[in-house]
Chain A
């Protein structure tokens, strides 16, 4: 099952490699991983998407907690949560008809065109991973010039929060 795990850890050199190393050493799967400092510069917040049976997920959570640099771990998928991912996608847009079509699709998905050339648009789109997938699917594959995705960031709904 797909899980989104939030990790609060000491913002120190090598902290990221401890998490990445743990996953490769124990043959756990990483679908995506994002990390950046929080409002408290001494802490980093990581969101990690993985898949595994309940037993494996239990071990993953325990093993993460065992890392000395890790302050708190939360499995967001255990409760109501919000996940968002950012995608930047460069699409061929040549000629009036094509440019209008791409713009229209972009509007439907509530994307924003953030760069324009004579023959391409660069679009910014945020949402759950499935929404970004759907946007890619709706485009003619041959028109996609480049995509870059941030990986998932997640947060719990309501008052629940991950903090020190």
Chain B
């Protein structure tokens, strides 16, 4: 049967099991929207800005493991989506983004709302396509979903000229994809795995360091089994939180710039480092030349380019985290060598001493609200069971430090790109995917204003997100750096004209609450959580001078932390 491109688009999404399509209509996608209007299978979520669409799809993807799908119009629709595409790219999140395009006959003519979407997005996508012929549309969509979700996941853009959505072709959705130029490795090299296991079992001061790859490959349970079998200490990157239960004794907390003292010290002093689905980001390593000076390093990653990019490793293993860890567990079970109990005992003793530093302690006040206190209270009131999205800055670090995630895919944050404005729209995607769960967006007075318009979307779809605004009147992380490194010259980090967030929330049809006293924090959170059907915007007036500690200053090693 012949279908139009727009109808083919809808049929393909249905074939891929797409529940939600996040988007915004416009001239170049009118045919496509008309086809969407005439079906019930795919629900379209109308955002208020295309950046919100990409972040919402991203939040959906991170919290479910399924690809997020976006539809925007040409020109400004596409350019507005770029920040969200780049955010997903840096954190390896599977998205399929459809951008409208002008008629093929007009491409290159500077037509109305024309932009070279394929060119603009090329550096921040896993792959992209311009569909020039409706006959190629179904196969292209199939390939896009396959590329986005396989190997190291990432966003894929499909640019759809308007005439292609009107033209007709015979529809058949391909069952399989074969690409001679794209064959991601899953199974690790058996010899390398054997060598790695031998090294790990002979360690006296072992350390396991894991990243977002564990979450992406749904390997949290395998990792937990692996770490507990060995009895080794483990740390997570910002992206890896939830990959190992944070309340477990073997967990040393997050590592890196604002990681815990014990995690960073254990990294620095370990003799064998097992890096799993992590990419040695500069926020993790500190000064490269001072990184893990005494360690032999094993690195498991699905992307060969992640290996030896920043840090030279001794045993690289290219492969899927889950599959490699499974093979390792088997070898460990069959091995004659077992970890040296005595050495491990004194290593744990050393770690306990570092732990006693209690590096995350903060002085609470009877009067002013400490931001850490709010996150801690949220953790307790939600039983550690909420989905938490964040924006970027101090509040993000406090959320990472004080909300302990025992499960993967509940911690939703822009780690690589560090995109302010991510939190609220991401929370929409999470709440749609998990309608019965508590979704909290921890944000700040700077970040929340970057995608604030999505409060309107939240009303339209009745998304009962709890917005936790840690309002200190500053761009806090910028302020912190200016205090420490720029002799307190607070260049443009103070917001002199903040809106009344309570009225603003009310203006958008939601519940607004202002909390100004330390003693009111818990009560307010409980009250908000009780409003199951409503979005509640909690505006916490927090201590304006509070800094995130501990901290590794630029150029320092992991053992050179500033504690307070």
A residues adjacent to B (C-beta < 8 A): 9-10, 13-14, 17-18, 21, 25, 55, 58-59, 62-63, 65-66, 68-71, 164
Contact = CB atoms under 8 A, between A and B. Distances in A.
A59 B279 CA distance: 14
A62 B118 contact: no
B337 interface: no
B118 A65 contact: no
A10 B123 contact: no
Contact of A58 (B119, B179, B181, B308): B308
B304 A65 contact: yes
Contact of B181 (A10, A14, A55, A63): A10
B40 interface: no
B304 A62 contact: yes
B123 A25 contact: yes
Contacts of B526: none
A18 B122 contact: yes
Contacts of B119: 17
Contacts of A25: 123
Contacts of A59: 305, 308-309
B303 interface: yes
B181 A71 contact: yes
16 contacts: A14-B122, A17-B122, A18-B122, A21-B122, A25-B123, A55-B308, A58-B308, A59-B309, A63-B305, A65-B304, A66-B303, A66-B304, A68-B127, A68-B181, A68-B182, A71-B181
B301 to A, nearest CB: 11
A65 B303 CA distance: 11
A13 B308 contact: no
A13 B130 contact: yes
A14 B118 contact: yes
Contact of A14 (B130, B179, B304, B309): B130
Interface of B: 118-119, 122-123, 126-127, 130, 147, 179-182, 303-305, 308-309
Contacts of A71: 180-181
Given A9-B181, A14-B118, A68-B179, 10 more contacts: A10-B181, A14-B130, A21-B122, A55-B308, A59-B305, A65-B304, A66-B303, A68-B147, A71-B180, A164-B180
A157 B116 CA distance: 42
B206 to A, nearest CB: 27
Given A9-B181, A14-B118, A68 B126 contact: yes
A64 to B, nearest CB: 10
A63 B305 CA distance: 6
Contacts of A13: 130
B181 A69 contact: yes
What 7 A-B pairs are tightest by C-beta distance, nearest first?
A68-B127, A71-B181, A62-B305, A62-B304, A25-B123, A68-B182, A21-B122
Given A10-B181, A68-B147, A71-B180, A21 B118 contact: no
Contacts of A21: 122-123
Nearest to B122: A21
A70 B181 contact: yes
Contacts of B180: 71, 164
B87 to A, nearest CB: 17
Residue among B119, B180, B181, B308 with most chain A CB within 10 A? B181
A60 to B, nearest CB: 10
Nearest to A65: B304
A69 to B, nearest CB: 6
Contacts of B304: 62, 65-66
A65 B182 CA distance: 9
B552 to A, nearest CB: 25
A71 B257 CA distance: 39
A66 B305 contact: yes
A13 B118 CA distance: 11
A70 B180 CA distance: 9
Contacts of B130: 13-14
Contacts of B303: 66
A59 B303 CA distance: 12
Contacts of B305: 59, 62-63, 66
A31 to B, nearest CB: 22
Contacts of A164: 180
A69 B180 CA distance: 9
B181 to A, nearest CB: 4
B505 to A, nearest CB: 41
Residue among B126, B130, B305, B309 with most chain A CB within 10 A? B305
A12 B239 CA distance: 35
A21 B127 CA distance: 13
Contacts of A70: 181
Nearest to B182: A68
A62 B309 CA distance: 10
B107 to A, nearest CB: 11
A65 B126 CA distance: 13
Contacts of A65: 304
Contacts of B123: 21, 25
A127 to B, nearest CB: 33
A71 B183 CA distance: 10
A6 to B, nearest CB: 15
A9 to B, nearest CB: 7
Contacts of A10: 181
B314 to A, nearest CB: 15
A58 B303 CA distance: 14
B193 to A, nearest CB: 20
Contacts of A9: 181
A66 B118 CA distance: 18
B207 to A, nearest CB: 24
A63 B181 CA distance: 13
Nearest to A60: B305
A14 B123 CA distance: 13
Nearest to A15: B181
A54 B19 CA distance: 47
A17 B116 CA distance: 13
A67 to B, nearest CB: 8
A66 B126 CA distance: 9
Contacts of A62: 304-305
A98 B304 CA distance: 58
Contacts of A55: 308
A53 B377 CA distance: 52
